[in-house]
Amino acid sequence: MQGMANPRKAASAARTSSVGGRRRITTGGPRRIQSGQSDGPQRQRYLVTFPAGLAALVEECLRADLRLVSASHRDDSALLFSTSAPAESVAKLLYIKNAFQLVLEVPRTSLSGAAKAIAQRLRRSVPPGLERMSGFRIMAQIDGQLEPLDRHAKGTLERAVMSATGARVMSRGGGDELWLIGRRALGTIVLGRRLSRAAKPGPAGSLSPELSRLLVRMSKPQGGDVFLDPFAGSGALCRARAEWPARRVIGVDLYAEPRFDSPRAGAPIEFLREDALELPSVESGSASVVATDPPWGEFESFAGSAQEFYAAMAASFRRVLDPRTGRLVLLVSRKMEQLVADELIRAGFEGPRLVPVLVNGHPATVLNACPAEARDDGG
Ligand SMILES: C[S@@+](CC[C@H](N)C(=O)[O-])C[C@H]1O[C@@H](n2cnc3c(N)ncnc32)[C@H](O)[C@@H]1O
């Protein structure tokens, strides 16, 4: 619960004091954690990171999944926001790579300057976010890249945290992680307590679980959907879709062996070994969603030209999608975005929306479209 004092015994807590010019750790109780506002739902601030390019979609998902979200900073792969939802709810958001609960924020300066400024603030009062911590270590990052922190500044901050909470330093890990975080476009450096970390990546060439889940969210999942990934590869998109209720989830691949076991499976996943450019077993107009990551034409070559491949793909997807309610989400290499968009329009899709993203640092584009009739119907 926010605002609770650390329940650890006072005798085990450590405080720093200066004796004869030398800093010394003395025992004493951890100080009381400040509570937030007393009236109305308590709001906490969080910083989350996600696959680059999808900030607008992530903000939309946060508003749908948490209470009273208001964002104060947004860049291509991080959002700083406040909400009345508890930290456990933020930690459970599976499309987030890393989530941090904000403890303190100081004006932007060097990392060591920020560490010292935060230590000073901690000596005056202990903000929410440091409850129930028995061991911790301090790490630092700028724009998601791990940064070294000067030993002296780190020691100063460690002592201030020990004194405030009674927790001990566990520099090899195993306890909580407190991160000093800087972002290029953020005028402050924040101290955040890590709530969750990115899932382990799948096999080479597969989409990350977080990106897969965001692409599924872009497809606006509904319980009655027939979901199709015609280039399923390892099965990342089908596994992400199976976390939501669906009528059917179908993966197709001509060559790969997808892995369809999903720890959170709400729907079983079916597999078809056939050509995505034909989809002979899929009835016309029967799919609610096609969400897929076709070959990018960079590590593999097409039998004919790229244009022939994407033209056949667009016609195949147009045939199987429900003409009134169908949705298409397509991830392609940035170099191919215009060619693929042109072929989609030629096949009868309404003006695709293009969202630039980075996939493992590689420029790519998500195309989000629906059959032209769906728009004519106001669908
Ligand atoms: C970019 S990979 C998809 C990776 C997948 N998103 C994942 O997370 O593992 C493209 C996949 O399309 C498959 N493929 C290529 N041509 C195909 C075709 N004509 N029909 C069906 N599958 C095809 C390949 O075997 C490969 O697994």
Helices and strands (DSSP H and E) totals, the chain = 9, 18
Q: What is residue 41's predicted lDDT score, i.e. its pLDDT?
A: 62
- CA-wise closest residue to 364 among 344, 329, 335: 335
* pLDDT tens column, 103-117: 999 999 999 999 999
* pLDDT tens column, 250-295: 999 999 988 888 777 777 899 999 999 999 999 999 999 999 999 9
Compute the distance from residue 231 Cα to the ligand 1 centre, in Å: 4
Boundary residue ending a domain (130, 165, 196):
196
Q: What is the mean pLDDT of residues 210-216?
A: 98
Residue of the CA atom closest to atom 17 of ligand 1:
254
DSSP code string of 137-173:
EEEEEETTEE----HHHHHHHHHHHHHHH--EE-TTS
Boundary residue ending a domain (196, 217, 237):
196
Boundary residue ending a domain (168, 196, 224):
196
Q: Residue 168 above 90 pLDDT?
A: yes
Instruction: Report how far residue 247's alpha carbon sits from residue 275's, in angstroms, rounded to the nearest whole number.
Output: 23
Residue of the CA atom closest to atom 1 of ligand 1:
295
Q: Residue 3 above 90 pLDDT?
A: no
Residue of the CA atom closest to atom 8 of ligand 1:
206
Which ligand 1 atom sits closest to the C-alpha of 255?
Answer: 25
Q: Does residue 201 fall inside a structural domain?
A: no
Which ligand 1 atom sits closest to the C-alpha of 236?
Answer: 8
Question: Does one domain contain both 238 and 261?
Answer: yes
Q: What is residue 87's predicted lDDT score, i.e. its pLDDT?
A: 94
Compute the distance from residue 276 Cα to the ligand 1 centre, in Å: 9
Compute the distance from residue 264 Cα to the ligand 1 centre, in Å: 23
Confidence of residue 40 (pLDDT cuts 50, 70, 90): low
Which ligand 1 atom sits closest to the C-alpha of 275?
Answer: 20
CATH of the domain at 75: 3.30.2130.30
Q: What is residue 164's predicted lDDT score, i.e. its pLDDT?
A: 93
Residue of the CA atom closest to atom 6 of ligand 1:
293
Compute the distance from residue 186 Cα to the ligand 1 centre, in Å: 39
Question: Does one domain contain both 337 and 280?
Answer: yes
Q: What is residue 376's predicted lDDT score, i.e. its pLDDT?
A: 61
For residue 143 the two structure tokens come to 């724009």
Confidence of residue 197 (pLDDT cuts 50, 70, 90): confident
Compute the distance from residue 255 Cα to the ligand 1 centre, in Å: 7
Question: Does one domain contain both 180 and 227?
Answer: no
Q: What is the mean pLDDT of residues 283-312?
A: 92
Q: What is the mean pLDDT of residues 138-149?
A: 95
Q: What is the 3-state secondary structure (H, E, C) of 17-72?
A: EEECCEEEEEECCCCCECCCCCCCCCCEEEEEECCCCCHHHHHHHHHHHCCCCEEE
Question: Does one domain contain both 14 and 142?
Answer: yes
Task: Find the range with the poorest average confidence among 6-15, 134-143, 253-262.
Answer: 6-15
Of the two residues 296 and 27, the one the predictor is more confident about is: 296
Question: Does one domain contain both 225 and 184?
Answer: no
Which of 212, 213, 231 is the best mutation target for the ligand 1 pocket, counting ligand atoms within 8 Å of the beta carbon and taking the most? Answer: 231
For residue 153 the two structure tokens come to 């500044």
- CA-wise closest residue to 55 among 15, 97, 107: 97
Confidence of residue 34 (pLDDT cuts 50, 70, 90): low
CATH of the domain at 324: 3.40.50.150
Which of 253, 271, 277, 300 is the best mutation target for the ligand 1 pocket, counting ligand atoms within 8 Å of the beta carbon and taking the most? Answer: 253
Three-state DSSP at 185 gives coil
Are the C-beta atoms of 304 and 341 separated by less than 8 Å?
no
Instruction: Spell out the residues 6+ positions from residue 344 whose beta carbon is closer than 8 angstroms to its own.
Output: 314, 328, 330, 352, 367, 369
Which ligand 1 atom sits closest to the C-alpha of 203?
Answer: 9
Which ligand 1 atom sits closest to the C-alpha of 207?
Answer: 8
Three-state DSSP at 347 gives coil
Give ligand 1 pocket residues (Cβ under 6 A).
Answer: 205-207, 231, 233-234, 236-237, 252-256, 275-277, 293-295
Q: Residue 306 above 50 pLDDT?
A: yes
Q: Residue 347 above 70 pLDDT?
A: yes
For residue 204 the two structure tokens come to 């080479």
Which of 211, 214, 227, 255 is the best mutation target for the ligand 1 pocket, counting ligand atoms within 8 Å of the beta carbon and taking the most? Answer: 255
- CA-wise closest residue to 222 among 189, 193, 192, 247: 247
Compute the distance from residue 7 Cα to the ligand 1 centre, in Å: 53
Detail the DSSP E strand segments found in the chain: 14-19, 22-27, 44-49, 70-75, 78-83, 98-107, 135-142, 145-146, 168-169, 176-182, 188-196, 226-229, 248-252, 269-272, 289-292, 327-333, 349-359, 362-371
Q: Does residue 4 fall inside a structural domain?
A: no
- Residues of the chain with pLDDT > 70, as a percent, come to 88
Q: Does residue 33 fall inside a structural domain?
A: no
Compute the distance from residue 50 Cα to the ligand 1 centre, in Å: 24
Question: Does one domain contain both 228 and 183?
Answer: no
Question: Does one domain contain both 131 and 185?
Answer: yes
Q: What is residue 57's predicted lDDT score, i.e. its pLDDT?
A: 97
Q: Does residue 5 fall inside a structural domain?
A: no
Q: What is residue 31's predicted lDDT score, i.e. its pLDDT?
A: 53
Q: Does residue 147 fall inside a structural domain?
A: yes
Distance of CA 89 to the CA centre of its chain: 14
Count the alpha carbons within 13 Å of 223 in the hemisphere toward its beta carbon: 0
Task: Find the range with the poorest average confidence among 19-28, 322-331, 354-363.
Answer: 19-28
- CA-wise closest residue to 233 among 262, 202, 264: 202
Q: What is residue 35's predicted lDDT score, i.e. its pLDDT?
A: 46
Q: Does residue 3 fall inside a structural domain?
A: no
Q: Residue 12 above 80 pLDDT?
A: no
Question: Does one domain contain both 16 and 139?
Answer: yes
Question: Does one domain contain both 243 and 336?
Answer: yes
Backbone angles phi, psi at 115, to 5 degrees: -60, -40
Q: Residue 22 above 60 pLDDT?
A: no
Instruction: Report how far residue 51's alpha carbon sits from residue 66's, in angstroms, rounded to the nearest whole number.
Output: 20
Residue 127 domain boundaries: 10-28+39-196
Q: What is the mean pLDDT of residues 210-239?
A: 97
Compute the distance from residue 89 Cα to the ligand 1 centre, in Å: 34
- CA-wise closest residue to 44 among 5, 77, 72: 72
Q: What is the mean pLDDT of residues 157-171?
A: 95
Question: Does one domain contain both 306 and 216?
Answer: yes
Q: Residue 368 above 60 pLDDT?
A: yes
Specify the length of the chain in residues.
Answer: 379
Question: Does one domain contain both 169 and 214?
Answer: no
Q: Does residue 34 fall inside a structural domain?
A: no
Q: Does residue 2 fall inside a structural domain?
A: no
Question: Does one domain contain both 162 and 187?
Answer: yes
- Residues of the chain with pLDDT > 90, as a percent, come to 75
Of the two residues 351 and 192, the one the predictor is more confident about is: 192
Mean pLDDT of the chain: 88
How many structural domains is the chain composed of? 2
Compute the distance from residue 278 Cα to the ligand 1 centre, in Å: 14
Compute the distance from residue 203 Cα to the ligand 1 centre, in Å: 13
Q: What is the mean pLDDT of residues 324-328?
A: 97
For residue 110 the two structure tokens come to 């060097």
